[in-house]
Amino acid sequence: MSSSLMSNYARLPVTFVKGEGAWLWDEQGTRYLDAISGIAVCSLGHAHPKVTAAICEQAHQLLHTSNLYGIKHQHTLADTLTHLAGMETAFFCNSGAEANEAALKIARLYGHEQGYSSPKIIVTEHSFHGRTLATLTASGNLKIQHGFAPLMPGFLRVPYNNIQDIQQLAADNPDIVAILVEPVTGEGGVIVPDSTYLQELRALCDQHRWLLMLDEVQTGIGRTGQWFAFQHSGILPDVMTLAKGLGNGFPIGACLANGTAAYLFKPGQHGSTFGGNPLACRAALAVIETITQDNLLQRVRDLETQFTLGFQEQLVGIEGVLDCRIKGLMMGIELAWPCGQLTSTALTKQILINVTAERVIRLLPPLIINDAQANDIITLVSHLIRDYFNSAAAGQRG
Ligand SMILES: Cc1ncc(COP(=O)(O)O)c(C=O)c1O
How would you list the strands of the sheet with 89-93, edge to edge?
Answer: 89-93, 253-257, 239-242, 211-215, 176-181, 120-124, 155-158
Residues 6+ apart with CB under 8 A from 48: 248, 286, 290, 368
Q: Report yes or no: 330 and 184 within 8 Å, Cβ to Cβ.
A: yes
On the question of a cis peptide bond just before residue 49, with omega within 30 degrees of 0, the verdict is no
Ligand 1 geometric centre to CA of 246 (Å)? 12
Q: Ligand 1 centroid to 28 CA: how many Å?
A: 31
Torsion of CA 370, 374, 380, 381, to 10 degrees: 150
Asked if residue 95 has its Cβ within 6 Å of ligand 1, the reply is: yes
pLDDT at 395: 74
In this predicted model, what pLDDT tens digit does every residue of 128-184 receive, in sequence order?
A: 999 999 999 999 999 999 999 999 999 999 999 999 999 999 999 999 999 999 999
- 39 alpha carbon to ligand 1 midpoint, in Å? 9
Is the Cα dihedral 214, 220, 222, 227 positive or negative? positive
Please report which confidence band the pLDDT of residue 334 belongs to, taking 50, 70 and 90 as the band edges: very high
User: 46 CA to middle of ligand 1, Å?
Assistant: 20
Domains of the chain: 25-45+295-397 (3.90.1150.10), 49-293 (3.40.640.10)
Average pLDDT over the chain, rounded to an integer: 97
Give the percent of the chain with pLDDT over 90. Answer: 97
Whether the pTM exceeds 0.75: the reply is yes
Distance 394 CA to ligand 1 centre (A): 38
Would you say the CB of residue 182 lies under 6 angstroms from ligand 1? yes
Q: Is the pLDDT of residue 262 over 80?
A: yes
Tell which atom from ligand 1 comes closest to the C-alpha of 186: 16
> Is there an atom of ligand 1 within 6 Å of 213 CB?
no
Which run of H or of E encompasses 138? helix 133-138
Q: Is residue 342 over pLDDT 80?
A: yes
Question: Does the Cβ of 231 fall within 6 Å of ligand 1?
Answer: no
**Which one of 217, 224, 252 would you pick to mutate in the ligand 1 pocket, going by the greatest count of ligand atoms within 8 A of its CB?**
217
